[in-house]
Amino acid sequence: MGTKPTLHEVAATAGVSLASASRALTGRSASPEMVRKVRTAAKRIGYLPDATARSLRLGGHRQVVFAVDDIGNPNYVQMLRAIEAELGETTRISVSSTGRRPDQTVELVRMLSMGAGDGLIISPLRVTPALRQAIADTVVPVVVIGTLHSDLGVDNVFVDSSVAVGMVVDHLVEIGRTRIGVINGPGNTNPGAARRAGFAAAVERHALVRTEALQITAADFTVGAGVDAAEHLLAATLDSGIPIDAIVCANDLIAIGAISAARRRGLRVPDDLAVTGIDDTELAALYSPPLTSVSLQSERRGGIAARMLSERFADPSRPPRRETVDATLVIRASTIGEAA
Amino acid sequence: MGTKPTLHEVAATAGVSLASASRALTGRSASPEMVRKVRTAAKRIGYLPDATARSLRLGGHRQVVFAVDDIGNPNYVQMLRAIEAELGETTRISVSSTGRRPDQTVELVRMLSMGAGDGLIISPLRVTPALRQAIADTVVPVVVIGTLHSDLGVDNVFVDSSVAVGMVVDHLVEIGRTRIGVINGPGNTNPGAARRAGFAAAVERHALVRTEALQITAADFTVGAGVDAAEHLLAATLDSGIPIDAIVCANDLIAIGAISAARRRGLRVPDDLAVTGIDDTELAALYSPPLTSVSLQSERRGGIAARMLSERFADPSRPPRRETVDATLVIRASTIGEAA
DNA sequence: TTGTATGCGTTATCAT
DNA sequence: ATGATAACGCATACAA
């Protein structure tokens, strides 16, 4: 009883042939009597058709998996939309939110080798040695959206988010901000590391104040983490007599959290404090004040990744490619106020 | 060339047996020489393993499809998260964004009968006769999150969004708003119809002004549609000398759009105009001003739907159930200002 | 209309 | 270590 009933057992229970049972359920050509017998038998033993077997027999569609750390991040939703648009008709896309546990991503890649899907698009926050190894070992095509330090022989979509931070700082300096703080994402993530480097370079370039107190790390790329980090940052800088006039945030969600925290302290944005995000997610344009951000072209990256994957399906021997997209600064009211 | 190479052809090309080819690729027990031969042969003819066949042989996991109109709506993202949490380990979840085309949903349900998945969770904006029929005909388990007018013999998670509108209007009346406008979603959607009815009932109950000019329909449940609708509504009411002091919106996204439009006209929220949403999505708490909204408990509904599905997998003969969750009002600054 | 037999692409069992 | 073959669960061409 614990085992899943098959069509075979339905046929046996109904006392008919396997073929008749199949036809009775799919409703091809079967007598009313046959349909009745089979359907009741199926109900009785609790039969449910097996999608995999059907799909094999029918020549089912391809299945690709899109794995991200947090599907709640609008950034990934944008990618997903583009991916769906690119290969939606012909392919089933399943999204897997690996939830910050890097080993889960590794697990996923391994599962793929075991038939869980025909292809993988992955946008990992961290690329651990284990993940690198898993990717290298996998037979099924993998496209990585993000930073790939060594060459793994897989297709790759890249955007340099360190220059993104540079663009933001340049802009802030241009509008006269000099004491610029930063709320970065976790340092052990690829985006975190890149943005930290970008900020350091920009500070150097503009000869800005360089204090440890101006740099803080959020626990996460989420709004909640942004609130917490901003509170610490504001408290630390104000208490030590180093008031800041701008905060560069590692992404839009953190920036929104930072604005909330700043407001709660009575600070006006951008008059007292300019705040910037990264990703230029839909929220950025809608938030009030609208958020100055840097577009990393998530939709475009998703679309490119999807196209790379389908091109690899078409020609598996094609050498791995790497495509790069450019970051573009989008200036809004959170830095310059109501300009319109 | 046009056909997909199988393991069989790899074996033939390498001049080895099928079994050896399989082992060489999965790396079980094979001589280095064998591995080399097979791998090069596979590369040469462009072999890619078939996930479906593997999955069948290996006893693959279950696949359920989550179908919604627009995965960009945070509301559905919340559901997805809950669904993943409930049956994530054991089941592959693929999300299908049917993009406002109702017939595409019907198509999807039919595909399911043909092996595209083992189960379906669906949260449709519209339940057309065709969809109703497709659901009734399907052998695979379907759980519907939403309104189901007739009894289709499927599991159902329900929340009465007409009472949600009622709660909002009650609240507005309580704080002294009397000229209340409404921006509804499309009237030919289930949520649209329910919310319209709820508003009509509330207007009756409180003996509020009842003019057609106070009611308007957004083209969509999106921010953009909210902006457009609000502009029309504000223009119409102001021009005709009927200034309104509150807008009830069909969901949070529309509400955010409405606030933007109001601000652009120089209106202060909530001093000049109170605005409310529905769904209590994450944005509601984060927006400024934070949005008064009604929680429809999307996470909870997603979780319940997932549990219903897995219970049906366990016992297909279980009679269909219907579970109802309650709407709860969440009061924030967009109606009462900075109360804290 | 119904039953028999074969194959979808892969892996596991059993010999060799 | 390798090869021949059965089996995964289902749908269909064919024969009856």
B20 contacts: CB under 8 Å, gap ≥ 6:
B11, B30, B34, B38
Q: Which residue's structure tokens are 């919340």? A: B78
Q: What is the mean pLDDT of residues A249-259?
A: 96
- Residue A277: pLDDT above 90? yes
- Report the sign of the C-alpha dihedral through residues A189, A190, A193, A198, in that order: negative
Q: Are B198 and B161 within 8 A, CB to CB?
A: yes
List the A20 CA – C5 C1' distance (angstroms): 14
Q: Judge whether residue A281 has pLDDT over 60.
A: yes
In the prediction, which pLDDT does A339 show?
A: 58
Residue type, B249: C
What is the per-residue pLDDT for A115? 65
Looking at residue B291, the DSSP 8-state letter turns out to be P
C-alpha span between B220 and B258 (Å, rounded): 13
**pLDDT average, residue stretch A79-103:** 79
Tens of pLDDT, residues B68-81: 888 888 999 999 98
A90-104, A137-151, A211-225, B218-232: least confident range? A90-104
Q: How far is the CA of B5 from the C1' of D4 (A)?
A: 22
How many angstroms separate the CA atoms of B88 and A111, rounded?
Answer: 14
Residue B37 pLDDT class (50, 70, 90 cuts): very high
Q: What is the pLDDT of residue A217?
A: 97
Backbone torsion region of residue A99, taken as left when φ is above 0, otherwise alpha when ψ lies between -120 and 50, otherwise beta:
left
Query: Residue-wise over A212-223: b if at least 16 C-beta within 10 A, else e?
Result: eebbbbbebbbb
pLDDT of residue B113: 65
**Whole-number Å distance between alpha carbons of B178 and B119:** 47
> Which 258-297 residues of chain B touch chain A by CB within 8 A?
259-260, 263, 282-283, 286-288
The residue lying closest to nucleotide C7, measuring its CA against C1', is: A57
Split at pLDDT 50, 70, 90, the class of A165 is very high
Peptide bond into B316 cis (omega under 30): no
User: Which tokens belong to A62?
Assistant: 């391809």
What is the CA A222 to C1' D13 distance in angstroms? 58
For residues B30 and B32, give the distance between their C-alpha atoms in angstroms, rounded to a whole number.
Answer: 6
Query: Are the C-beta atoms of residues B243 and B214 closer than 8 Å to each other?
Result: no
Sign of the C-alpha dihedral computed for residues A26, A31, A36 and A38 taken in this order: negative
How many Cα atoms are found within 13 Å in the side-chain-facing hemisphere of A69?
A: 19
The one-letter amino acid at B131: L
DSSP secondary structure code for residue B315 in this structure: -
Contact B187, B250 (CB under 8 A): no
| CB contact at 8 A, B24 and B41 | no
Position with higher pLDDT, A324 vs A61: A324
Other Cβ atoms less than 10 A from the Cβ of B35: the count is 15
Q: Which chain A residue has the Cα nearest residue B2?
A: A314
Residue from B58, B8, B50, B4 nearest A139 by CA: B50
Q: What is the mean pLDDT of chain B?
A: 90
Q: Is the pTM of this model over 0.75?
A: yes
Alpha helices in A119-251 (DSSP H): 129-137, 161-174, 190-206, 223-239
Instruction: Give Dmax (Cα) for chain B.
Output: 88
> Which has more pLDDT, A91 or A181?
A181
Amino acid at the residue B327: A
Report yes or no: B292 and B174 within 8 Å, Cβ to Cβ: no
pLDDT at A114: 62
Distance CA A302, CA A66 (A): 10
C-alpha span between B230 and B253 (Å, rounded) = 12
Give bridge partners of residue A145 from the DSSP assignment: A157
Per-residue confidence (pLDDT) for residue A264, from 0 to 100: 87
List all residues of chain B from 134 to 163 with a beta carbon under 8 Å from chain A.
Answer: 139-141
- What's the pLDDT score for residue A287? 87
pLDDT over 80 (residue B84): yes
Give the confidence band of A161 by pLDDT, cuts at 50, 70, 90.
very high
* A154, two tokens: 């897989």
3-state secondary structure A290-339: CCEEEECCHHHHHHHHHHHHHHHHHCCCCCCCEEEECCEEECCHHHHCCC
| Facing residue for A46 by CB, picked from B47, B77, B317 | B317
Q: What is the pLDDT of residues B41-56, one digit of tens each?
A: 999 999 998 988 988 8
pLDDT in tens, B207-246: 987 777 789 999 999 999 999 999 999 999 888 777 899 9
Position A27, amino acid: G
- Asked if the model's pLDDT at residue A268 lies above 90, the reply is yes
Please state which of the ranges A39-43, B108-112, B330-334 shows the lowest mean pLDDT: B108-112
> Of A125, A51, A233, whose CA–CA distance to B113 is shortest?
A51
B86 within 8 A of B303, measured Cβ to Cβ:
yes
Is pLDDT of A2 > 60?
A: no
Percent of chain A with pLDDT over 90: 61
Beta carbons of B54 and A94 less than 8 Å apart: no
Chain D bases closer than 7 angstroms to a protein Cβ: 1-13
**Confidence bin at B137 (pLDDT 50/70/90):** confident
Please say whether the beta carbons of A107 and A65 come within 8 A. Answer: no
Residues B146 and B180: beta-carbon distance below 8 Å: no
The string of pLDDT tens digits covering residues B262-288 is 988 999 999 999 999 999 998 898 888
Give the DSSP per-residue string, B222-257.
SHHHHHHHHHHHHHHHHHTT---SEEEESSHHHHHH
Q: Which two tokens stand for residue A41?
A: 């038998």
Taking only the tens place, the pLDDT of each residue in A64-73 is 889 888 888 9
Q: Is the CB of A30 under 7 A from strand C?
A: yes
The predicted pLDDT at position A140 comes to 86
Please report, rounded to whole angstroms, the spatial distance between the CA atom of protein residue A54 and the C1' atom of nucleotide D9. Answer: 7
At residue B99, the pLDDT reads 67
- At B132, give phi and psi (nearest 5°): -55, -45
The answer to whether B50 and A59 are in contact (CB under 8 A) is no
Residue B92 has pLDDT above 90, yes or no: no
Q: What is the mean pLDDT of chain A?
A: 90
pLDDT of A131: 87
Distance CA B259, CA B255 (A): 6
CA neighbours closer than 13 Å in the CB half-sphere of residue A230: 31
Return the structure tokens found at A190: 């690829």
Instruction: Name the band, by pLDDT with cuts 50, 70 and 90, for residue A18.
Output: very high
CA distance B297 to A147: 37
| Strand C bases with any atom < 7 A from protein Cβ | 1-5, 7-13
Secondary structure (3-state) at B114: helix
CB pairs under 8 A between A and B: 153
Is the predicted pLDDT of residue B123 greater than 90, yes or no?
A: yes
**Inter-residue contact B318 to B311 (CB < 8 Å):** yes
B259 pLDDT more than 80:
yes
Q: Identify the three-state secondary structure at position A287.
A: coil
Q: Are strands A246-249 and B274-276 parallel, antiparallel or unpaired?
A: unpaired
The verdict on a CB contact (< 8 Å) between B72 and A140 is no
